[in-house]
A and B are shown apart, each in its own frame.
Chain A
Amino acid sequence: MDARRGPLAVPKVRRVGFFTSIEPSQDSPRPNRSLSGPAEAITTSSSPLSDSPSGQFISPVQIPPLRHRSDNLAAASRAAAPVPVPVPGPSAFRRQLASDRALHVGSYNPVDSLLGTSPPSSNGEVSEDSGSLFGFQRSDSAKLSASFPNGGFDMTMRVRAPQESEAKVVIASTSDGRKKNVEPSGTSEPVAATKPRKEKEQKSLKEKTSKAERRAIQEAQRAAKAAAKGEGSKRAGESSRAKPSKTAKQTQPKKDVPQVTSSLSEKRTVSVEKERRMDVPQAQMQYDDKSRVDKAKRRSVVEQTESKNKVELFLHLPQYERGNQLPNLSSNIFTLDTIHHAVYKVGLQHLAGDLSGDNARCIAMLHAFQEAINDYTTPPMKDLTMDLTGKINGYVSFLIECRPLSMSMGNAIRFLKNQIRKLPVDLSEPEAKASLCSEIGRFIDEKIILADKVIVQHAVTKIRDGEVLLTYGFSCVVEMILLYAHEIGRKFRVVVVDSRPNLEGQKLLRRLVARGLDCTYTHINAVSYIMGEVTRVFLGASSIFSNGTLYSKVGTACVAMVANAFSVPVIVCCEAYKFHERVLLDSICSNELGDPDAIANVPLRTNTKHAKTMDNNKNLQFLNLMYDSTPAEYISMIVTDYGMIPPTSIPVIVREYRREDLLL
């Protein structure tokens, strides 16, 4: 429409660090832009904004706040720039541009390996030798689109990609199963994203992706509109075909590039991507999806019987009966060769509930992995990185079958996989194993044990003489803090609040009393009775999400809430490795269900009978939640190994330190 509005949009672009902007063309539409879109993108990519004739869009590298992009897009369309704004352009990421450049140069064909997307079967079957334009283009666009959101964060990719594959490459779905088992053999450093086509990727969290997804679609639509305006029907048709990510245009020039994809590298990247997908722990399975659950069941080692009388609200969580599969599993211990015995042991411990406490579980798991890695030998003709990752994935899914992983375990697994991925290629197998084991050991020492010590040092400064400290359940960090404060001679009293069914507080009580601490024991219902005399509340954490929500043992939220009502400060002690970039609003969406029988069985002598007699009544359910989420407003302070911070600083810590930790 009126092009004058174009310039107005320019200042909107926030140029911080790596950025992209589409500056809407200030003069008349340039039809050729869209035609040569990718080429321009490439040129600009080398020096952002300077090369492109009009100083127009496309900076190469960006950590894109999606907002900008859509703003720009909107501006662009308003300015009637016919620019069909190829989405990958503005959102161009290093990878993609690299691939573009490569394409441009045409020197080799790293497209696939770089992008990591093997076009489902088109590459392997059709285009590999025939180089049929059609197949090629499709696959490429698919690749590009798949890779596009990946730069931002992994999540988006997952949901989007399946869409594309649906939209464009019908074959993708059929090739799913095949790709899964492809063994890698190639070299190192595959960077890019894949279209996910394993069942595992289906786990991708809806809530995380949906927004980005929606945005992408919106953008695509806008772009399509713009394209239609500017360039007529043909283009529009094409762009709309490429709707989900608008990459069709971009890939056009690639038609000319000869495709030399080696199936080898392709396969490798597939599995790399697979592992990348795997390592994000929040990829939770939604258990109300019948087909996926069935699939998962077929693969599972642990035979689980679903509990009767599920609670409707929690159908999306696994609800299994505990205990009955334990003897079965322990008898299988020698027949199952896929699972390393150390991992098996940890799994059984989880199943039996012997391990409690996030740190304990995490350390046990890491030790088991250490052992497993020690005993690992790379099969002939296989790559250590790939094969080991696969193995670890197997272990992890076994552990998940035993008991859903805690957030901290997910983080630890992610760390381990990153370590495996980053192993130098030239490392010999024993060296690699040794390095991995030492990395794991270092993780345990640094992130858990040392972190705890730091936390204790910090937290103990908050305990003064004559205070009454309240703690809930059993947290080993809190225990250490209390014992240490007692050791250095602080005079204080401890209120241990406990709750059914686990009664972990009794464990803490036993240890504290044994060390001579003055204790008061009560149950969670009485917390508002006792809170009047309490001066501080110390709580442990299972995880803290980046919106400041504390995810911890069920009941923590109640204690924090009551403390808040009584204006008692709530101090949460949590190692930074438990922080998680997810966000959580309530305790329903993400939780773990415990054994309902634990609730049904009442220790009271008088009415033990009734629960059993009612067991088969379908109107009666017992709900045993394991976790709940405490809103950030109830938390006064979080003590971590990085110091004492308010809950609002969690996302900063996650952002600033997580990256470097994982890339260690």
Chain B
Amino acid sequence: MPDVQSMVLEFVNKLRKRKIEGSQATARCTVELLRSVISHHRVPHHANQASALIDAVKAVGAQLVAANPVELAVGNVVRRVLHIIREEDLSLATAAVAGLDLLDASDDDEDVNGKGIGYPAMSAAVVAAAARSTLRPPSLQTLLEGTPESATVPYTSSSGADSESKTADKSSITRKLKHDVIEGVNQLIHEIAGCHEQIAEQAIEHIHQNEVILTLGSSRTVLEFLCAAKEKKRSFRVFVAEGAPRYQGHLLAKDLVARGLQTTVITDSAVFAMISRVNMVIIGAHAVMANGGVIGPVGVNMAALAAKKHAVPFVVLAGSHKLCPLYPHNPEVLLNELRSPSELLDFGEFSDCLDFGSGSGSPLLQVVNPTFDYVPPSLVSLFITDTGGHIPSYMYRLIADYYSADDLVM
């Protein structure tokens, strides 16, 4: 346990010092950390293992989120893991119920255990189907019969009590739960790692010959997306806005050129001037909110407005780990982060006017250097996630698939 604790602390420190940047990297680190948290978690024998696991993950998750509240991917991943735990618990419970039924019929314990353990070995499709069935809305029949929906919930929780009498069975289920959860988390890691390819596969459907594409900020997703289209022999031109104080656009341009794309770097101020000759704006999101709003690199709102004005499609690429189940309130300010003024003004240049916290009266000069920008859903034409293209108003539903309602507030 101490090693896990130190790992958590180390990661928290990294987050706090913004050593890890980019939602994908953060997400991967978070999920790996959570996996080790789960695998090192010693499940108490008596209590409900699922809820114990959930509590442990929540505790760590709260620390991580507090370390960098702006990096929404951390919270997203923690919620995803919680969701996985709940789902596995549920599917185990249903399996156990089925097992109990079987038990009633055949009175064969080992058969149940063997079947229960063999269960994860079955194809993932079955697991997914089971998971889906748990998410399925109540059937028409239950609605008609007026059975309270909550009836299923105590049933699941009682399943632990049911099996409590048989310790052998219980321990195997415990092991199985952890095993299943780690399986699920591994799958999540795989998904996060592979979201680029998933998204890039769709590039060919959206980019045609001789297209002119504007992008800004540096996003690996965008890079892969464009390169995938390039590999399919589409020839097009990319305008990259440099992304002023951090010049991430230059990095992206460098990568694009290295892959043989026609790239033009423009200043951020020329976005409006150029947008009339652009066929599509493609950006990578920092986070996608449940209302379909996008948090992206600073300057994105400007590009989105210009695109709207010129009726240019504004396409946002986002892996599923960027989908945040929260609805934003005043995201420009609350989900933003101000960086050092030194990126804008040289050190010492206006030092007599700036307030360095020395408290020498009110400062004459303030320097504002935000990191992110919020794009309201009305300006977004399309989201491309690893599950396909979606419109902004659909995002809330898509997001609901990935998270449990219980975890929204951590």
Question: Residues of A at under 8 Å CB distance from B?
Answer: 311-313, 498-501, 506, 509-510, 513, 516-530, 532, 553-555, 557-558, 561-562, 565, 586-588, 591, 599-600, 602, 604, 607, 610-611, 614, 617, 619-625, 627-629
Chief secondary structure at chain B's binding surface: mixed
Contacts of B254 in A (CB 8 A): 610-611, 614
Whether A622 contacts B264 in the complex (CB less than 8 A), given A516-B364, A558-B306, A561-B305, comes out as: yes
Query: Do B272 and A620 touch (CB < 8 A)?
Result: no
Contacts of B336 in A (CB 8 A): 529
Which stretch of B70-78, B156-164, B198-206, B243-251 is in the interface? B243-251
Q: Judge if B242 is at the interface, Cβ distance under 8 Å.
A: yes
1/0 per residue, CB under 8 A from A, across B329-371: the answer is 0001100100001011100011001000000001011111110
Contacts of A529 in B (CB 8 A): 298, 332-333, 336, 368, 370, 373
Partner of B302, one of A313, A562, A604: A562
Query: Do A587 and B367 touch (CB < 8 A)?
Result: no
Give min CB distance, B70 to chain A, whole Å. 14
A-B contact pairs, 8 of them (CB 8 A): A522-B368, A524-B269, A525-B299, A526-B299, A587-B274, A622-B266, A623-B274, A625-B274
Query: Do A523 and B273 touch (CB < 8 A)?
Result: no
Contacts of A621 in B (CB 8 A): 263-265
Query: Do B242 and A607 touch (CB < 8 A)?
Result: no
Q: Judge if B301 is at the interface, Cβ distance under 8 Å.
A: yes
Query: Do A599 and B267 touch (CB < 8 A)?
Result: yes
Given contact pairs A524-B299, A525-B244, a sample of 12 additional A-B residue pairs in the complex whose CB atoms are under 8 Å apart? A500-B244, A509-B365, A524-B269, A525-B373, A526-B299, A529-B332, A529-B373, A555-B269, A561-B309, A588-B273, A623-B274, A625-B270
Query: Do A526 and B369 touch (CB < 8 A)?
Result: yes
**What is the bound-complex CA distance between A553 and B274, given in angstroms?**
14
CB-nearest residue of chain A to B366: A520
Contacts of A558 in B (CB 8 A): 268-269, 271-272, 302, 306
Which 8 residue pairs are nearest across A and B when measured between Cβ atoms?
Answer: A555-B269, A525-B299, A587-B273, A628-B273, A528-B301, A499-B269, A557-B272, A522-B368
Contacts of B260 in A (CB 8 A): 619
Contacts of A530 in B (CB 8 A): 368
**What is the bound-complex CA distance between A562 and B268, given in angstroms?**
14
**What is the bound-complex CA distance between A523 and B350, given in angstroms?**
16
Q: Which of B237, B239, B266, B269 has the most CB of A within 10 A?
A: B269
Give min CB distance, A314 to chain B, whole Å. 10
**What is the bound-complex CA distance between A521 and B346, given in angstroms?**
13
Partner of B298, one of A526, A588, A623: A526
Query: Do B302 and A528 touch (CB < 8 A)?
Result: yes
CB-nearest residue of chain A to B372: A529
Give min CB distance, A203 to chain B, whole Å. 23
Contacts of B350 in A (CB 8 A): 509-510, 513, 521
Q: Judge if B387 is at the interface, Cβ distance under 8 Å.
A: no
Whether A611 contacts B266 in the complex (CB less than 8 A), given A529-B373, A625-B273, comes out as: no
Whether A624 contacts B267 in the complex (CB less than 8 A), given A525-B302, A527-B302, comes out as: yes
Q: Judge if B262 is at the interface, Cβ distance under 8 Å.
A: yes
1/0 per residue, CB under 8 A from A, across B253-290: the answer is 11001001111111111111110110000000000000
Give min CB distance, A473 to chain B, whole Å. 9
Query: Do B244 and A523 touch (CB < 8 A)?
Result: yes
Contacts of A555 in B (CB 8 A): 267-270, 272
CB-nearest residue of chain B to A564: B305
Contacts of A521 in B (CB 8 A): 341, 344-345, 350, 365-368
Question: Residues of B at under 8 Å CB distance from A?
Answer: 237, 239, 242-247, 250-251, 253-254, 257, 260-274, 276-277, 298-299, 301-302, 305-306, 309, 332-333, 336, 341, 343-345, 349-350, 353, 362, 364-370, 373
Query: Do A519 and B298 touch (CB < 8 A)?
Result: no
Partner of B373, one of A509, A517, A528, A591: A528
Q: Which of A510, A530, A558, A627 has the most CB of B within 10 A?
A: A558
Partner of B267, one of A311, A554, A565, A586: A554
Contacts of A501 in B (CB 8 A): 267
Contacts of B247 in A (CB 8 A): 602, 604, 607
Whether A620 contacts B265 in the complex (CB less than 8 A), given A525-B302, A529-B332, A561-B306, comes out as: yes
Query: Do B273 and A506 touch (CB < 8 A)?
Result: no
**What is the bound-complex CA distance between A532 and B368, given in angstroms?**
13
Contacts of B266 in A (CB 8 A): 599, 622-623, 625
**What is the bound-complex CA distance between A273 and B226, given in angstroms?**
54
CB-nearest residue of chain B to A532: B332
Query: Do B244 and A524 touch (CB < 8 A)?
Result: yes
**What is the bound-complex CA distance between A611 and B247, given in angstroms?**
11
**What is the bound-complex CA distance between A39 and B299, given in angstroms?**
68
Query: Do B369 and A523 touch (CB < 8 A)?
Result: yes
Q: Which of B250, B254, B264, B270 has the most CB of A within 10 A?
A: B270
**What is the bound-complex CA distance between A523 and B244, given in angstroms?**
7
Query: Do A522 and B265 touch (CB < 8 A)?
Result: no
CB-nearest residue of chain B to A553: B269
Whether A525 contacts B268 in the complex (CB less than 8 A), given A561-B306, A561-B309, comes out as: yes
**What is the bound-complex CA distance between A587 and B367, given in angstroms?**
30
Give min CB distance, B102 to chain A, whole Å. 61
Query: Do B364 and A499 touch (CB < 8 A)?
Result: no
Contacts of A554 in B (CB 8 A): 267, 269-270, 273
Q: Which of A311, A529, A591, A620 has the most CB of B within 10 A?
A: A529
Contacts of A525 in B (CB 8 A): 243-245, 268, 298-299, 302, 373
Query: Do A565 and B305 touch (CB < 8 A)?
Result: yes
**What is the bound-complex CA distance between A519 and B333, given in angstroms?**
19
CB-nearest residue of chain A to B304: A528
**What is the bound-complex CA distance between A296 and B267, given in angstroms?**
30
Partner of A623, one of B243, B270, B343: B270
Contacts of B253 in A (CB 8 A): 620
Contacts of B364 in A (CB 8 A): 513, 516-519
CB-nearest residue of chain B to A586: B276
**What is the bound-complex CA distance between A280 and B72, given in angstroms?**
58
Give min CB distance, A562 to chain B, whole Å. 6
Contacts of B365 in A (CB 8 A): 509, 513, 519-521
Query: Do A588 and B276 touch (CB < 8 A)?
Result: yes
**What is the bound-complex CA distance between A607 and B243, given in angstroms?**
13
Contacts of A532 in B (CB 8 A): 332
Query: Do A500 and B268 touch (CB < 8 A)?
Result: yes
CB-nearest residue of chain A to B309: A561
